[in-house]
Amino acid sequence: MFSINTSLIRWRSDGRHEVPLSVCSKSCLPGFRKVARRGEPICCFQCTPCAQGEISNQTDSVDCTKCPWTMWPNTQKDQCVLKATDYLSYEEPLGKALACTSVFSSVIPVSIFSLFIHYKNTPIVRANNYTLSCVLLISLSLCFLSSLAFIGYPQTEKCLLQQAAFGMVFTICVSCILAKTIMVVFAFMATKPGSSLKKWTNPRVSYMIINVCSFLQLILCIVWLSRSPPFTQYNTQTQPDLIIVECNENSTTA
State the pLDDT at residue 122.
Answer: 87
State the pLDDT at residue 246.
Answer: 92
pTM of the model: 0.73
State the pLDDT at residue 21.
Answer: 66
Query: pLDDT digit of tens for each residue in the chain (254 aa)?
Result: 677 777 777 766 665 666 666 677 788 899 999 988 887 777 788 999 999 999 999 998 899 999 999 999 999 999 999 999 999 999 999 999 999 999 999 999 999 999 988 888 888 888 778 888 899 999 999 999 999 999 999 998 899 888 899 999 999 999 999 988 888 887 777 677 666 667 767 778 888 999 999 999 999 999 999 998 999 999 998 898 899 999 988 877 65
Containing domain of residue 200, as a range? Answer: 93-248
Answer yes or no: do 153 and 72 share one domain.
no
253 lies in a domain?
no
Burial of residue 225 (number of CB atoms within 10 Å: 0-12, 13-18, 19+): middle
State pLDDT tens for residues 97-146.
999 999 999 999 999 999 988 888 888 888 778 888 899 999 999 999 99
20 lies in a domain?
no
State the pLDDT at residue 43.
Answer: 79
State the pLDDT at residue 14.
Answer: 62
Answer yes or no: do 58 and 104 share one domain.
no
123 lies in a domain?
yes
State the pLDDT at residue 195.
Answer: 65
* DSSP symbols for the chain: -----GGG---STTS--PPPP--SSPPPPTTEEEEEPTTS-TT-EEEEEPPTTEE--STT-SS-EEPPTTEEE-TTSSSEEEPEEE---TTSHHHHHHHHHHHHHHHHHHHHHHHHHHTTTSHHHHHT-HHHHHHHHHHHHHHHHHGGGGSS---HHHHHHHHHHHHHHHHHHHHHHHHHHHHHHHHHHTTSTT-S-GGGGSHHHHHHHHHHHHHHHHHHHHHHHHHS--EEEEE-SSSTTEEEEEEE-S-S--
136 lies in a domain?
yes
Answer yes or no: do 65 and 109 share one domain.
no
CA nearest neighbour of 186 among 176, 212, 178: 178
Domains contained in the chain, number:
2
Main-chain dihedrals φ then ψ at residue 47, nearest 5 degrees: -95, 120
173 lies in a domain?
yes
State the pLDDT at residue 135.
Answer: 92
